[in-house]
Amino acid sequence: MRPIDVQRLTVGDTTDRYTRMIRAKSATGALAPGTAEVYARDVLTFAELAGPERVLDDLSGADVDEVLLKFAHKPDGRRRSPSPSPGAGGPRAAARQSAASQARFRRSLSAFFRYATITGWVQLDPMRAVTLRPKDRGGLRSQRRALTTEQADGLLGAARSMVSAPADPARRADQRTELRDALIVLLLAAVGPRVSELTRADVEDFYVNAGVRYWRIFGKGGRTRDVPLPRAVTRVLEAYLADGRRLLDKGREPKALLLSWRGRRLARGDVQGVIDRVLARVDPEHRRGVTPHGLRHTTATHLLAAATDMDAVRRVLGHSDLSTLGRYRDELPGELEAAMRVHPLLGAEEP
């Protein structure tokens, strides 16, 4: 018999209440704003896929399995397929959800149903009856996220070339975003910020101390970190502040570092488009699609491969624990061979 304290609320009602709750936690500082928005977006997507008019307590594990399958095949609007997809509404169809996105969506649902169980919206947590495993959702495996040295050099070289490239005469002056796009890619690859940290950055967060330009990054949990910028990044930043940002500034967001051509603070969802535009300039032989988070992995991987102190890398990325670095470290081709050629006990090999 159903307990009398179970509330017969619809999926739409419960997800709306849950969304308000996590946004309230964000407003009080109990939850990072970026994390709250991810949870909110995922549960609202769940409501759309499950049917907002259905009673939440009536959902079974099979129903959640169906939602997970639907999400796996849902186009990812942030990215495009690398090859044409006939009959998909255009020459470049939207890519499906990555394995990482599917795993994140599943975690969001688990958190939602734990809360629903506590509040009496469901009698039993249907996540316990879910039978699908990642391989059943299409066999997607997480691709190595970090770019190789050649791929990273190609991307950064393309970004630097945009700084001195002649302006496109077909575009209005206030729509020329080459300097801004180059700066975004260089900051992502050199410093490895979270995309939310990048888009929240203000002009005043960049300061000079003893001749070195620093970026004060406001990270998760209210933590801040001051990261010195490499000279190559500093030069592009100063060029953007002196010229590129001035073209985009319409007085609407006087503090924001990164502006859209409409003069608004750049949105998180726009950053992937910036990366893709820079990637289009890379030699196809060294081009590989990458997300903002993939560039964060690239930063960690190459700093660690260069024997940079682990605690310094942790501080650059804004991790609270060294153990987190293990999830950001990818293997690089040839790194073991290179390490053994300069073995500290045997000395460097003869060329």
Domain span(s) for CATH 1.10.443.10 in the chain: 149-332
Superfamily grouping for domain 149-332: Intergrase catalytic core (1.10.443.10)
Of 17, 293, 329, 341, catalytic: 293
pLDDT higher at 53 or 146: 53
Identify the band that residue 78 occupies on the pLDDT scale cut at 50, 70 and 90.
Answer: low
CATH, range 11-137: 1.10.150.130
Of 137, 194, 213, 297, catalytic: 194
Burial class (CB in 10 A: 0-12, 13-18, 19+), 93: middle
Identify the band that residue 85 occupies on the pLDDT scale cut at 50, 70 and 90.
Answer: very low
278 pLDDT higher than 90: yes
Rounded to an integer, what distance in angstroms lies between the CA atom of residue 99 and that of residue 103?
6
Token digits for 112?
A: 């939602």
Q: What is the mean pLDDT of the chain?
A: 83
Of 18, 39, 240, 328, catalytic: 328
pTM for this one? 0.64
Long-range contact set of residues 245-250: C-beta below 8 Å, sequence gap at least 24: 245/179, 245/180, 245/203, 247/173, 247/174, 247/176, 248/174, 248/177, 248/180, 250/174
145 pLDDT higher than 90: no
Helix (H, G, I), strand (E, B) or coil at 155: helix
Domain span(s) for CATH 1.10.150.130 in the chain: 11-137
Average pLDDT over residues 18-32: 88
Identify the band that residue 7 occupies on the pLDDT scale cut at 50, 70 and 90.
Answer: confident
Strand partners, 265: 259
Q: What is the pLDDT of residues 179-189, one digit of tens each?
A: 999 999 999 99
Q: Is 297 a catalytic residue?
A: no
Q: What is the pLDDT of residues 100-112, one digit of tens each?
A: 788 889 999 999 9
Token digits for 331?
A: 């293997």
Q: Is 135 a catalytic residue?
A: no
Of 96, 225, 314, 319, catalytic: 319
Strands (E) in the chain, as ranges, are 75-80, 94-96, 206-209, 212-218, 224-228
Percent of the chain at pLDDT exceeding 90: 47
Q: Is 73 a catalytic residue?
A: no
Of 220, 235, 268, 341, catalytic: 220
Q: Is 302 a catalytic residue?
A: no
